[in-house]
Chain A
Amino acid sequence: MLIDPASASLQHAMDVAEVRHGLLTQNLANLNTPGYARQDLDFEAALKGSSSDLESQVVTKGPPSLVTEAGDMAANDSFYAANARLLSLHYQTLHQALK
């Protein structure tokens, strides 16, 4: 963490969203795999934890369904986009302060 806690937590949120996106696409790809159990992040725990041990926050539950995966993915996308926007605004503010 070079700059400040705010940018560190925004970056962490984007790390979480990125890992979650990987899991959700994996679920989507295995929609028709018999006996496959869907994987997802324990979102709250992952956001509170550190970026390095996100693997330990993966929970396995039930079969994948198209509706759940697509819905979760849309929510995850906007979460990532919102964080990216906030981080970019945050950096803009810092640049402005230094001008």
Chain B
Amino acid sequence: MADPISSLSAAGAMMRPDAAAFGSAAAGPLGADAGRIAQDLAPSLGQRMIDGAQLADPAQVAAAGFLPSGPAAAPGGPGNSFQSILDAIDQADQAQSKSDVLSRAFSQGQDVPIHQVMAASEEASLALETLTALRNKSLDALNELMRIQV
């Protein structure tokens, strides 16, 4: 988890096998269409995150001082705030897994209340949206900084 860019990519890659697994699970009772749609969506979801992560060259990002570099990061400073982003990625991933488990159980006809499935999938999608919004805003801020003439 040391390199934030690679951990963003890893988060993107992690989404893919889960979503693909759900796609094949859904292919049974719900018909091939649902499974195919889920499998089509899965790579694009992961790819979108990876594409975004690759927009910024890690070396450039570090050179701009965006990344906390070792002991220079003061307590409560950029080091801690970046740790909270990593935690947020973790939480988003957990929300996604929870949603996957519930959706799978629901699609297999297990006794899961529909509102819990709905809420879990909404929370997972909100978490992912929040993360992408956060990433986009951070990159915007970085690009803005890069454009400053010194």
Interface residues of A, Cβ cutoff 8 Å to B? 2-3, 7, 11, 14-15, 18, 84, 87, 91, 94-95, 98
Contacts and interface: CB of A to CB of B under 8 A. Distances in A.
Interface in B77-124: 91, 95, 113, 115-116, 119, 122-123
B14 to A, nearest CB: 17
A2 B115 contact: no
Contact of A2 (B91, B116, B129, B133): B91
A5 to B, nearest CB: 14
Interface of B: 91, 95, 113, 115-116, 119, 122-123, 125-127, 129-130, 133
B126 A98 contact: yes
Which of B113, B115, B123, B130 has the most C-beta atoms of chain A within 10 angstroms of its own C-beta?
A: B115
B113 A2 contact: no
Contacts of A87: 115, 119
A94 B66 CA distance: 28
B46 to A, nearest CB: 20
